[in-house]
Amino acid sequence: MMKKGFTIVELLMVIGIIAVLMGIVTTAASESMKASRSRRADALCTLVQSGLAVYYAQNDEWPISFNGKGGSNQEGANDNSDDNVYVLTGSEVRQCVKALVDEAKKGNTIIDVSGLWVSRSDGELSGNKVNRGAVGLDFMSAVRGTKQHPRKMKTAEMYFGYPDPSTGAFLRFKMTYSISADQLKVSRQR
């Protein structure tokens, strides 16, 4: 009498088909995550840039002084040879965004700080490579603490940036100031 059931070949075929389908789903999910991070990075740049524009409109000055600063400093020299452009250093970028956060703490809602992406280390450029070891969190998780990062962050120790679209690691914003147009532009590092 023959027992009913599946043969080894049939089981291996089903397992193979499931593996192929899982590979397709994983690839699609990975691409979706990259696209989502890219959109978030662009949205964060726009958020900070509009916050800086509102800050300038309210105070008639930028969070840092550009008096006496020449164009094409060390970080921007390879990006643009325009003498009317100044690329802010990492500490200047941090100072600009921190000024927006400080205004929000005072009740002046020029920026929604809950959407900011922060880290304890700066994601600084070293040579042509970016330090991708920094871990980023959204602002509210950093202030409250999480299970993975229980130590709460103070604003004074925060660096501000965006999640790298390919890896999700923290990167700081790149800011350029056009001297002739008196305009501060926020973008991603390339």
In a domain, 5, yes or no: no
In a domain, 110, yes or no: yes
In a domain, 17, yes or no: yes
Model pTM greater than 0.75?
no
- Using DSSP's 3-state secondary structure scheme, residue 39 falls into helix
Residue 148, domain extent: 10-187
Q: Strand 159-163 vs strand 170-172: parallel, antiparallel, or unpaired?
A: antiparallel
- Give the total residue count for the chain: 190
In a domain, 2, yes or no: no
Calculate the CA dihedral of residues 136, 168, 171, 143 and round it to 10 degrees: -10
Each residue's pLDDT tens digit in the chain (190 positions)?
667 888 899 999 999 999 999 988 888 788 888 888 889 889 999 999 999 999 999 988 998 888 766 655 544 444 445 668 888 888 898 899 999 988 888 888 888 888 888 887 766 655 445 555 567 878 888 888 877 777 888 888 888 888 888 887 888 899 999 888 888 999 988 7
Q: Which of 69, 93, 70 is nearest to 82 (CA)?
A: 70
Q: Which of 85, 62, 78, 101 is nearest to 178 (CA)?
A: 85
**Structural domains of the chain, count:** 1
